Amino acid sequence: MHAALTRLTQLITPPSQPRATDWDAVRKQLGVVLPADYRELIRAYGGSNWDDYLYLLEPGCPNDNYDLIEWEDQQTEALEGLWEFEKKPDELANPDSRVIPWASTDNGECLYWLVKPGQDPDQWTVMVNEARGDRWEHYPMTCTEFLLAALTGDVHSDVLSSRLPLTTHEYRQLTAV
């Protein structure tokens, strides 16, 4: 188990029923293997809401609103249209780089992996994009490290809500609507 996930399970106990995901099907749909820490995070917590703000996306999530595959399709299309009018973040200067969403917020911010050509998925870092603007932040850490840092207050974001983290953490697994 990744160190950040071990610390996260000490902070918030995962549900007793781990999620099963067909990661081969996910790889075929996305064209990439997702990072090992994320796969472990989903196995432990599934698609979920953290501190009544951040939504962890899950491939095949029982709540269709938070299905990672659907988000990837929608965000890719939306960003391609947006970048016809706005400058891409410097981290995406290489035309073969891309972002893949892994979380969102109740305000509409989106958290992505920064995927660079030839880079091992376990080396992907985090990009955060504001909901209705062109501001991006880059964090040189994995998604699980970022989630833990956000919940412990060890990361500061000018994009995400200042009310994250809550004093008493809240967690709920997403279920069918």
pLDDT at residue 82 greater than cutoff 90: no
- For the chain, how many structural domains are there in total? 1
Would you say residue 1 has pLDDT above 80?
no
Residue among 158, 176, 166, 177 at smallest CA distance from 50: 166
**Would you say residue 96 lies in a domain?**
yes
Express each pLDDT in 18-56 by its tens digit. 788 999 999 999 999 999 999 999 999 999 999 999 999
| Residue 108, domain member (yes or no) | yes
**For the chain, percent of residues with pLDDT exceeding 90:** 83
Question: Would 30 be classed as within a structural domain?
Answer: yes
Task: State the pLDDT at residue 62.
Answer: 92
Alpha-carbon dihedral 47, 33, 26, 3, rounded to 10 degrees = -20
CB of 37 within 8 A of CB of 142?
yes
Nearest to 111 by CA among 94, 91, 131, 95: 131
- pTM of the full predicted structure? 0.95
Range of the domain at 87: 3-8+20-153
Considering the domain boundaries, does residue 176 fall inside one?
no
Q: Is 163 among the domain residues? A: no
Distance CA(114)–CA(91), nearest Å, equals 8
In a domain, 13, yes or no: no
